[in-house]
Amino acid sequence: MVVVSAGANGTPGILERSGLGDAQILKKAGIDVLEDLPGVGADYQDHHLTLWSYRTNLTPQETINGYQDGRFDVEERIRNNDELLGTNGMDAQGKFRPTETEVEALGPEFKKAWDRDFKGAPNKPLMILALYTCYYGDHSVLPDDTEYVSQANWTAYPYSRGHVHVTGPSMHDPVDFDTGWLTDAGDVDVKKHIWAYKVSREMWRRMPIFRGELAATHPRFPKGSKAAVIEKADGPVMMDDNERIEYSAEDDKAIDQRVREILSTTWHSLGTCKMAPREGKGVVDRNLSIHGVYGLKVADLSVPPENVGANTGNTAFLIGEKAADIFIRELGLSNKDRSQSQSRL
């Protein structure tokens, strides 16, 4: 038994350079085809992310900016057992779904996807929203010494798909990598981000720590827009629960453009050697065996055929644990077998 476990970005390359993959891609790369498996390197997924920065009244000890911009002496903080060393900066996180009114407002293509994949699954989030107590960027360009923090919005179940393939037989050959972000039919993924921006922005404008929006990270709304950026405030600016920020069609275009400009990764790559039938571009079967190849398995995040509404760390651990059970069983290494062998000794 041989097990490949190089992750969603690495495993496809190992298989393709070994002659396992889409025959056309392998031939173009000058690699002999041992097994034609079009699913290798296909259907790349990620929890793509947008980050929006806000001005706050937090103190330096309430954020981790001091570690990022050099204000804190790291060695001294370690010696003094600084409590901030025990946080990753994510102070709040939630899983969010739109109201039916919001679904209708996002258009027929979005509603079609919502009704098919989300409406009947009330525990399935459309987006995950989180507050990070730090500014992700060049701190030297910030307009003042106030503590800026980041609002992170990422799609839980993206529709967009990309790919990762080799272009030659050597590891030194360039990789053909396309995230495929925001390429889904109907632009459902970008509409998720537009909705999440609006929701999180209204939350922020109601928060006690709100002191403004960092214009450089927000959409460039047209002059005179009712949704214009508020760069400085003395506190929350939306007190009425029924109050809403009014957006025009031009404002929505500005948000769309900004989303496309700043979209980034959560490093949650998966799905490039998915578990599925061979005719469905699957690469491995239920026992993690590669279709058409004896004794070769894959055990990493390239295996999940669909995404998960959470950090993918636990998914990776679960795959590893399940893989271990499969390997132990197939190799005859169960506890029962080991105890019998020890008794004979």
pLDDT tens-digit readout, 239-276: 999 999 999 999 999 999 999 999 999 999 999 999 99
pLDDT, tens digit (0-9, with 9 covering 90-100), for 39-81: 999 999 999 999 999 999 999 999 999 999 999 999 999 999 9
Tell me how far apart the alpha carbons of residues 103 and 117 are, in angstroms, rounded to a whole number.
13
pLDDT in tens, 300-315: 999 999 999 999 999 9
What is the mean predicted confidence (pLDDT) over 73-97? 93
User: What pTM did the predictor assign?
Assistant: 0.91
pLDDT given at position 291: 98
Query: Is residue 142 predicted with pLDDT exceeding 70?
Result: yes
| C-alpha–C-alpha distance, residues 24 and 17, integer Å | 13
What mean pLDDT is predicted for residues 11-21?
98
**pLDDT 10s digits, 169-188:** 999 999 999 999 999 999 99
Q: What is the pLDDT of residue 80?
A: 95
The whole-number pLDDT of residue 334 equals 78
Q: In whole numbers, what is the pLDDT of the chain averaged over residues?
A: 95
Distances in whole angstroms, Cα of residue 52 to Cα of each of 39, 40, 116, 202, 311: 35, 35, 30, 13, 20
Q: Are the C-beta atoms of 322 and 69 separated by less than 8 Å?
A: no
Sign of dihedral through CA atoms 266, 267, 268, 274? Answer: positive
Which residues fall within 8 angstroms of residue 177, CB to CB, at 6 or more apart?
9, 44, 162, 163, 164, 165
pLDDT > 90 fraction of the chain, expressed in percent and rounded: 95
Three-state secondary structure call for residue 51: strand
Element (H, E) at 195: helix 188-204
Q: What is the per-residue pLDDT for 88? A: 87
Q: Which of 156, 162, 119, 146 is nearest to 65 (CA)?
A: 146
Alpha carbon 160 to chain centroid, angstroms: 12
With CA atoms as reference, report the closest residue to 311 among 276, 249, 267, 251: 267
Strand partners, 164: 177
- Tens digits of residue pLDDT in 106-135: 999 999 999 999 999 999 999 999 999 999
- The reply to whether 268 belongs to the active site is yes
| Pairing mode of beta strands 175-178, 163-166 | antiparallel
Distance of alpha carbon 276 from alpha carbon 296, whole angstroms: 16
Q: Report d(CA 247, CA 225) in Å as an integer.
A: 8
Beta strand residue intervals within the chain, DSSP E: 2-4, 20-21, 35-36, 49-56, 90-96, 127-132, 148-155, 163-166, 175-178, 210-213, 296-298
| Partners of 297 in beta bridges | 3, 289
Kindly report which listed range (77-86, 187-196, 295-304, 330-339) carries the lowest average pLDDT score: 330-339
The pair of three-digit structure tokens given for residue 306, joined into one six-digit string: 């669909």
Q: Catalytic residue among 47, 165, 218, 268, which?
A: 268
Q: With 70 as the cut, is the pLDDT of residue 338 above it?
A: no
Decide: 118 and 106 in contact? Cβ < 8 Å.
no
